[in-house]
Amino acid sequence: MSRAFGHDVLIIGSGAAGLGVALRLADRARVAVLSKTELAECSTFYAQGGISAVLDAEDSIESHIQDTLVAGAGLCDPEIVRLVVSRGKAAIQWLLDQGVTFTEVESEDGDRHLHLTREGGHSHRRVVHAADATGKAVETSLLARARAHPNIELFEYHNAVDLITTAKLGLTPQRVVGAYVLDRKAHKVRTFAARAVVLATGGAAKVYLYTSNPDTATGDGIAMAWRAGCRVANMEFMQFHPTCLYHPQARSFLISEALRGEGARLLLPDGTPFMKRFDPRAELAPRDIVARAIDHEMKRLGIDCVYLDISHKPADFVRRHFPTIHRRCLDFGIDITREPIPVVPAAHYTCGGVVTDARARTDIPGLYAVGETACTGLHGANRMASNSLLECLVFAELAAEDLNRHLDDLPAPPPLPAWDESQVTDSDEEVVVSHNWDEIRRFMWDYVGIVRTDKRLQRALRRVELLKQEIADYYGHFRVTSDLLELRNLIIAAELIVRSAMARKESRGLHHTLDYPERRDPPRDTILTP
């Protein structure tokens, strides 16, 4: 029998959200943090732009709130927006206390202070950053703290299979009691028991053929919560980042929105700027508008990409502010101080997810969801730039506050059965997994992308239903692998996105359909129930 691991809190996911919860709990609880690959391989690590927070005297909480509400196209929860924005300054201070080093500038009187940049949708400079590798600075600092804490146990290459609930064990009342987890190195499924479980697995953008996300973004937490009985909301709002590097060897490399914040212009191949024709804010319009504008121009002209140009800025300025992007583009023969960058939109952020309350609690007692996995009400129909890491940090704090308050009241989990694989064998045709993986991502890109129609969504749903059955049959007959687990989660993410998109008979934010081009009032969330 495989060893069972017992902890007070099991955290599935090792990005800023998961580590944020862990570090705030560890002084009084035994915490396990799972990562299905290396600990730092998460969306946090690859975040370039920064974290939005009101730190400038000319800025205000009310302004940040209003910008977020406008970007969210009428679907943000105003109370949640205020809750998150008002905690921004404290979140930045907490990161500084953890050892994160942000970019600073020197004022005229010789004082040093955090440099603030501006991104799309923001009316002020309020984005704190570490050059153009903010996520890396945050992730490495938090990981160093977690590794040093005696109450935090880190598990690399551990891929969660499914949540264990009392309902699955035939017990009452309903609550979460742990998870089955594939130890990828030992090739065994382990049982992890816990008083509470936190889902911090990131989003589901890998459901699309082209994405800025790492390979880990396969909707695992969303799918596990759905299978366990949690509601999921607003999955039709998948954000496409307007500017990913277009190059045959440049796999998933994001060109930060901060370039546009510092004056970069979007150009057609002949050098003509075009954003003013779509929005008076031009390059600083919210991401949904910019992505649709680029998509429109690419289809209108039959071109493979558009161009992002910051070469009119001094070369030293570009190299100092965007060292990672400058270096990476040079690897592909593009000197951004002298020439424009070829860019295309790519799936970037999941605005919907597992429904939570203002303390990150889901529908199942003891189960929390934080970060991109969750639908908190902050983002509405379109996430504003750099509000994502802010949400991770604030809801990590809110979840930890609630857990610290109630952990002693949560009962110890009952004895949990070991994983049973007595009725399955090793797969003899792994090509089925890779083929289905590729098929999902292609039809989602073709039919459920930046611009949608009823006909495209119906085509996608038919393919989802066929593949869902095929994957279920495969899962029932063969031993689990990491690729199979991700595929199983990916098809659920695809189904939730398609069904949510079909339910919304309007165009709003990131959901744009040619069949219903106007907004319908009053605005409503799309909530799906298992």
Give the residue from 310, 351, 360 showing the smallest Cα distance to 334. Answer: 310
Q: What does the pLDDT profile of the chain (530 residues) look like in tens digits?
A: 344 668 999 999 999 999 999 999 999 999 999 999 999 998 998 888 899 999 999 999 999 999 999 999 999 999 999 999 999 999 999 999 999 999 998 877 778 899 999 888 899 999 999 988 899 999 999 999 999 999 999 999 999 999 999 999 999 999 999 999 999 999 999 999 999 999 999 999 999 988 989 889 999 999 999 999 999 999 999 999 899 999 988 877 889 888 998 999 999 999 999 999 999 999 999 888 899 999 899 989 999 899 999 999 999 999 999 999 999 999 999 999 999 999 999 999 999 999 999 999 999 999 999 999 999 999 999 999 899 999 999 999 999 999 999 999 999 999 999 999 888 888 777 788 999 999 999 999 989 999 999 999 999 999 999 999 999 999 999 999 999 999 999 999 999 999 999 999 999 999 999 999 999 999 999 999 99
Distances 487 to 37, 83, 230, 436 between C-alpha atoms, Å: 16, 36, 20, 8
Residues 6+ apart with CB under 8 A from 437: 483, 486, 487, 490
For residue 299, the tally of other CB atoms under 10 A from its CB is 11
Question: What residue ranges do the domains of the chain occupy?
Answer: 4-236+351-409, 239-347, 431-518
What is the pairing mode between strands 341-350 and 306-309? Answer: antiparallel
Dist. CA 309–CA 306, nearest whole Å: 10
Residues 6+ apart with CB under 8 A from 9: 21, 22, 25, 29, 30, 31, 32, 194, 195, 196, 197, 198, 403, 407
> Rounded to the nearest 10 degrees, how much is the dihedral formed by the CA atoms of 459, 464, 469, 471?
140
Give CA angle at 413 (407, 419), nearest 5°.
135
- By annotation, the residues acting in catalysis are 287
pLDDT, position 135: 92
Task: Please tell me the number of Cα atoms within 13 Å of 190 on its side-chain side.
Answer: 19
pLDDT, position 249: 84
Which H helix or E strand runs over 285? none
pLDDT, position 5: 67
Dist. CA 245–CA 251, nearest whole Å: 8
Contact assessment for residue 193 and residue 416, using Cβ atoms and an 8 Å cutoff: yes
Best CATH choice for the domain 431-518 from the list 3.30.1600.10, 3.20.20.80, 1.10.260.40, 1.20.58.100: 1.20.58.100
pTM: 0.92
Contact assessment for residue 501 and residue 515, using Cβ atoms and an 8 Å cutoff: no
Q: Could you name the CATH architecture of 239-347?
A: Alpha-Beta Complex (3.90)
Token pair belonging to 160: 């969660």
Dist. CA 99–CA 103, nearest whole Å: 13
Superfamily of domain 4-236+351-409: FAD/NAD(P)-binding domain (3.50.50.60)
pLDDT, position 119: 85
pLDDT, position 394: 98
pLDDT, position 122: 93
Distances 271 to 282, 428, 528 between C-alpha atoms, Å: 15, 53, 45
